[in-house]
């Protein structure tokens, strides 16, 4: 079996080598530890599928003394044919020399057969000072690709392309922080073009990474559906004794209910982040802009993710009609659609009644069966306001979108972003009705398979519509 | 390995809940590996029982069933005792009184109705005694068991009913053996002996073909009728005992056997429901997906190094006015902002695109007797090249010459590596100046 292709990510210190590895290896831990020039040893990041390695990225330290290395090479080379051997001789001679530790670390994998990914910063102007590094790499004779990363705001891509083209087989632009997922895959395909033997494993890797992303999307939407069902059906309960103050108990239970819903939303976020391997994101969670003034129960959240009363009435009518149509079907059509009509009217009326001012109709205290030992069971919840489901869903989809489209080199905190058009516009009318019905009838327990599947399907459709909405530029 | 669907459901649900604390990556890797091992052996992915055997802790998680076991035992015991007492009460007579067969048949009918009603509530998922049972259970039922409560309650009720039926039958047989029982029939309704005989004949339909001795004939029916206000003795007292085979068979066929069949049905229904719950369990679909989806590992679990500690910066001096030389390192250039402050300082270049000979030339031309300012770009971390240059400069100018690193910075973020660099060199005459704001054009070589 041939060895999998390996790629050494090399370059001047602080040009984004680790950012590129962080994004391609989906490891935000690399970005967290990213202090300019602190990479002293090579780190290997293999991509394996079921234990079979398809390729390997090697994060290396930056060049520290390229002019001295080049001077040594030039002094010890007799002709162009011995250049690779001369580089090897340099590494052999200086392996224990602390002054050339970094150069030996970065050159060793290249001499062992790795391809070269040379990283430069396209935001600063081209400088001939890096030519010594490029010359050393050219001396190794290994397949090479130059990546123009953009760390700042400047744009000097054309100059860099022209200069790098003289030293490297392929030159590509790649923004490690902002490049979309398809660009990651395209870059990997570019790696495969460096050598004939590398094309097949890289192509296989691209296929698996694409499948993995699809799988993650499905799982993330499943997690959202699970959290929605949990939050829509949750109730807080306590014992209500004869002499207790009913208002105080209601206030206390309502507070507990809200706190629990907030915690559940946080758990969902952590689950989605873990799914996408953003394990260090929660450390910066306190900086999340959307948690400051955008509490789950705030009017801002309602305005951003709730729906209008007209929408509620329309979707409620549709959802009610779906249920009523079942009665018509049982009557073999003899009811002439009366069931659908009555169901629709009831659905619309219910949605209108409970869809009033947000947070006022979230729930109310209910006194239930007497308890052993005296008193009665008091319960707050499940939620009655149909807006709540839309708010939770909208926020969850927005968070999922942000996380799933965030590269692992990203270091800025997540920020809530929503346009001036509502995402539900992208959802076809029958899907809106199904969503409304699923939100009105969430699964009460985990074995409620039919309702759970209906909710999962509704969230899956909503996720697809949300993606279209977020990826479509506003007019 | 779990064989009962109910036990399998509980074990699976317990493992599913434990797995919720694991990362998705771990679960995927673990389960995919199991599927691959099977695949390599030419087998299909493991069944749920096999999977539990491989990943579980080897224990059965049947604790949630303890409450139901206790309830089952209690109902069987209560049913058994009640069966004995009921039959003794039914057969209790004093003096020449007869045991009314009509009353016996009514009890049979009630038992049959109760058995059917219990089966109906179990099938419909109704729990008429749910609240009562919940109060008797201080622990919340396991989530996986919650939807099975009607079926579990139905099975327990049928088991209690069967115990009632069996002990009542045994009591009846014992009473027949040890006592002289006289049966008769009586009713307020205007009915004739042939009509009553028709009723018992119809009831005896299941066994009349193969056990005619247990079917009362018309003569027995006619002679065993009695009225409460009639004091006459029956023509043949021995004849009245002839009802017992019919009564035993009636109890057996209409009480014991239905209870037994319905108990078996309740058990089968419970297993069927448990199998369906397992099939619809949210963890099963996820598990099958993990079996079928390749595990893609992009090296994301390789631990990253910890951030380095940055020393707190000491007092930073401004470049002094008596600076003798300004060296632009690796093309750093402040254009005209710093030089006017340095008076007549000589401006030289080193590092970057300059050759090593040019660096040496710069060291020779610099005024080592006065402070030297080296202009650097803060956003480019210090390299070994600069460290070598500073070493050479020290050797060239002596240990006393103040060397000031003047960073050009767009913000404070790039300064930490420079602070560490200066601290690491342990050179009292080497200092870092406050950053000088730079624009991108100024940074150009």
Task: Tell me the C-alpha distance between A206 and A200, whole Å.
Answer: 10
Over residues A77-106, mean pLDDT: 93
* CATH code for the part of the protein at A6-194: 3.40.50.300
**Range in A422-436, A451-465, B68-82 with the lowest mean pLDDT:** A422-436
Over residues A411-435, mean pLDDT: 78
Q: Which two tokens stand for residue A319?
A: 């959802």
Q: Which two tokens stand for residue A25?
A: 């290896």
* Mean pLDDT for chain A overall: 84
Say what the pLDDT of residue A435 is: 93
* Residues in CB range of B274: below 8 A, 6 or more apart: B4, B5, B6, B8, B9, B148
Task: Tell me the C-alpha distance between A35 and A19, whole Å.
Answer: 11
Range of the structural domain that residue B168 is part of: 63-289
Among the candidates B241, B269, B289, a domain finishes at B289
Residue B299 lies in a domain: no
Three-state SS at B75: helix
Let me know: does A363 contact A378? Beta carbons within 8 Å.
Answer: no
Beta strands A52-59; A144-149: pairing state: unpaired
What residue ranges in A289-373 does DSSP mark as E strands?
365-370
- Where residue B350 sits, what CATH number does that domain have? 3.40.50
Residue A412: phi and psi, rounded to 5, are: -75, 150
Let me know: does A122 contact A157? Beta carbons within 8 Å.
Answer: yes
DSSP H stretches of helix in B179-204: 193-203
Q: Can you give the length of chain A in residues?
A: 475
Domain boundaries in chain A?
A: 6-194, 216-306+358-471, 320-356
DSSP H stretches of helix in A169-298: 181-192, 199-233, 246-275, 289-292
Count H helices and E strands in chain A, helices first: 17, 9
Strand partners, B437: B409
**pLDDT tens, residue by residue, B367-421:** 878 889 999 988 888 889 999 999 999 999 888 899 999 888 766 667 888 888 8
On the question of pLDDT at A189 being above 90, the answer is yes
CB contact under 8 A, A62 and B383: yes
Q: Which two tokens stand for residue B116?
A: 């059917």
Task: Tell me the C-alpha distance between B377 and B405, whole Å.
Answer: 10
**pLDDT tens, residue by residue, A26-78:** 888 775 544 555 567 888 999 999 989 999 999 999 999 999 999 999 999 98
On the question of pLDDT at A351 being above 70, the answer is no
Residue B209 lies in a domain: yes
Q: Of residues B127 and B256, which shows the higher confidence score?
A: B256
Domain count of chain B?
A: 2
Let me know: does B133 contact B109? Beta carbons within 8 Å.
Answer: no
**pLDDT tens, residue by residue, B117-126:** 999 988 888 7
Q: Which value does ipTM take for this structure?
A: 0.79
Which of B33, B39, B133, B300 to probe by mutation at the A interface, max A CB count within 10 Å? B300
Chain centre distance of CA A329: 43
CB contact under 8 A, A37 and B304: no
For residues B81 and B226, state if they share a domain.
yes
pLDDT band at A417 (very low <50, low <70, confident <90, very high): low
Task: Tell me the C-alpha distance between B259 and B169, whole Å.
Answer: 13
For residues B210 and B336, state if they share a domain.
no
Task: Tell me the C-alpha distance between B101 and B403, whole Å.
Answer: 121
Residue B282 contacts A where some CB pair is shorter than 8 Å? yes
Question: What region, left, alpha or beta, does residue A16 occupy, with left being phi > 0 and alpha being psi -120 to 50 degrees?
Answer: left
For residues B362 and B277, state if they share a domain.
no
Let me know: does B356 contact B396? Beta carbons within 8 Å.
Answer: no
CB contact under 8 A, B294 and A102: no
Residue B100 lies in a domain: yes
Residue for token pair 């009523």: A324
Task: Tell me the C-alpha distance between B201 and B215, whole Å.
Answer: 7
Task: Chain A: give the shortest CA distance to residue B117, in Å.
Answer: 25
Residue B140 lies in a domain: yes
For residues B348 and B254, state if they share a domain.
no
Which of B19, B304, B411 to probe by mutation at the A interface, max A CB count within 10 Å? B304
Let me know: does A49 contact A209? Beta carbons within 8 Å.
Answer: no
For residues B272 and B175, state if they share a domain.
yes
How large is the angle between the packed helices A199-233 and B282-292, nearest 10 degrees? 180
Complete DSSP assignment for A389-418:
HHHHHHHHHHHHHHHHT--TT--SPP----
Which of A30, A33, A185, A447 to probe by mutation at the B interface, max B CB count within 10 Å? A447
CB contact under 8 A, B144 and A25: no
Among the candidates B289, B313, B336, a domain finishes at B289
Q: Can you give the length of chain B in residues?
A: 445
Q: Which two tokens stand for residue B197?
A: 């005989």
Residue B23 lies in a domain: no
- CA-closest candidate to residue A145, choices A125, A121, A189, A115: A115
């Amino acid at each position: 079996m041939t060895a999998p292709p390996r790629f050494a990510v090399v370059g001047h210190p602080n040009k984004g080598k680790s950012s590129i590895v962080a994004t391609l290896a989906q490891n935000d831990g690399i970005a967290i530890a990213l202090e300019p020039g602190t990479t002293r040893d090579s780190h290997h990041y293999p991509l394996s599928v079921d234990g079979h390695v398809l390729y390997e990225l090697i994060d290396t330290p930056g060049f520290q003394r390229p002019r001295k290395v080049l001077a040594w090479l030039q002094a010890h080379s007799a002709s162009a044919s011995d250049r690779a051997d001369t580089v090897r001789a340099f590494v052999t001679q200086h392996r224990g020399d602390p002054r050339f530790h970094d150069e030996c670390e970065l050159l060793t994998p290249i001499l062992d057969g790795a391809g070269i990914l040379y990283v430069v910063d396209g935001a600063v102007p081209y400088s001939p000072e890096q030519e010594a590094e490029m010359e050393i790499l050219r001396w190794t004779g290994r397949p090479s690709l130059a990546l123009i990363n953009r760390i700042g705001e400047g744009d000097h891509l054309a100059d860099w392309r022209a200069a790098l083209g003289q030293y490297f087989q392929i030159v590509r632009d790649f923004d490690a922080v902002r490049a979309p997922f398809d660009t990651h895959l395209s870059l990997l395909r570019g790696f495969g073009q460096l050598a004939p033997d590398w094309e097949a494993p890289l192509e296989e890797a691209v296929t698996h990474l694409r499948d993995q992303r699809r799988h993650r999307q499905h799982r993330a939407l499943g997690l959202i559906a699970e959290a929605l069902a949990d939050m829509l059906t949750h109730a807080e309960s306590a014992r209500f004794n004869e002499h207790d103050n009913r208002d105080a108990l209601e206030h206390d239970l309502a507070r507990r209910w809200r706190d629990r819903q907030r915690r559940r939303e946080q758990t969902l976020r952590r689950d989605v982040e873990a799914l996408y391997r953003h394990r260090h994101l929660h450390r910066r969670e306190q900086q999340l802009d959307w948690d400051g003034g955008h509490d789950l129960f705030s009017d801002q959240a309602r305005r951003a993710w709730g729906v209008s009363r007209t929408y509620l009435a329309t979707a409620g009518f549709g959802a009610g009609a779906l249920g009523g149509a079942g009665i018509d079907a049982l009557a073999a059509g003899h009811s002439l659609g009366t069931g659908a009509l009555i169901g629709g009217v009831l659905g619309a009326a219910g949605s209108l009644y409970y869809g009033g001012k947000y947070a006022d109709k979230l729930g109310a205290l209910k006194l239930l069966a007497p308890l052993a030992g005296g008193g009665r069971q008091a319960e707050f919840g499940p939620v009655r306001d149909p807006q709540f489901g839309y708010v939770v869903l909208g926020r969850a989809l927005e968070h999922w979108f942000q996380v799933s489209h965030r590269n692992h080199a990203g270091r800025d905190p997540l920020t809530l972003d929503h346009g001036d058009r509502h995402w539900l516009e992208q959802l076809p009318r029958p899907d809106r009705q199904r969503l409304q019905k699923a939100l009105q009838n969430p699964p009460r327990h985990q074995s409620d398979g039919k309702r759970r599947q209906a909710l999962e399907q509704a969230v899956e459709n909503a996720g697809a519509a949300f993606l279209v909405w977020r990826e479509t530029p506003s007019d | 390995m779990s064989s009962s669907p109910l036990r399998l459901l509980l074990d699976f649900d317990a493992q599913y809940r434990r797995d919720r604390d694991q990362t998705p990556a771990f679960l995927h890797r673990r389960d995919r590996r199991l599927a691959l091992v099977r695949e390599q052996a030419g087998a299909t992915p493991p069944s749920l029982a096999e999977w539990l055997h491989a990943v579980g802790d080897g224990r059965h998680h049947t604790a949630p069933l303890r409450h139901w076991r206790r309830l089952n035992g209690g109902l069987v015991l209560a049913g058994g005792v009640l069966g004995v007492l009921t039959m003794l009460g039914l057969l209790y007579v004093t003096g020449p009184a007869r045991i009314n067969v009509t009353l016996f048949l009514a009890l049979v009918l009630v038992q049959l109705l109760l058995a059917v009603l219990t089966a109906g509530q179990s099938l419909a998922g109704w729990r008429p005694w749910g609240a009562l049972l919940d109060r008797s259970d201080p622990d919340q039922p396991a989530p996986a068991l919650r939807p099975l409560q009607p079926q579990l309650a139905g099975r327990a009720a049928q088991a209690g009913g069967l115990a009632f039926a069996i002990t009542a039958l045994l009591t009846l047989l014992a009473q027949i053996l040890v006592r002289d029982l006289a049966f008769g029939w009586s009713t307020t309704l205007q009915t004739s002996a042939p009509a009553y005989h028709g009723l018992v004949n119809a009831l005896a339909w299941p066994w009349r073909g193969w056990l005619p001795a247990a079917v009362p004939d018309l003569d027995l029916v006619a002679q065993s009728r009695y009225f409460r206000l009639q004091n006459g003795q029956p023509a043949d007292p021995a004849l009245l005992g002839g009802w017992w085979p019919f009564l035993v068979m009636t109890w057996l066929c209409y009480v014991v056997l239905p209870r037994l069949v319905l108990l078996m049905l309740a058990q089968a229904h419970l297993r069927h429901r448990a199998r369906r719950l397992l099939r619809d369990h949210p963890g099963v679909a996820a598990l099958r997906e993990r079996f079928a989806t390749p595990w893609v590992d992009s090296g994301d679990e390789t631990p990253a190094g910890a951030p380095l500690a940055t020393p707190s910066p000491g007092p930073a001096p401004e470049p002094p006015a008596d600076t003798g030389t300004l060296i632009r390192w690796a093309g750093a250039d402040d254009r005209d902002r710093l030089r006017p402050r340095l008076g007549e300082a000589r401006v030289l270049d080193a590092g970057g695109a300059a050759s090593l000979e040019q660096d040496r030339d710069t060291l020779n031309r610099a005024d080592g007797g006065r402070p030297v300012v080296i202009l650097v770009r803060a956003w480019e971390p210090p390299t070994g090249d600069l460290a070598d240059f500073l070493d050479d400069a020290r050797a060239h100018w002596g240990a006393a010459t103040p060397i000031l690193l003047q960073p050009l910075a767009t913000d404070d973020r790039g300064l930490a590596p420079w602070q560490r660099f200066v601290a690491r060199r342990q050179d009292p005459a080497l200092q870092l100046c406050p950053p000088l704001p730079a624009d991108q054009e100024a940074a150009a070589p």
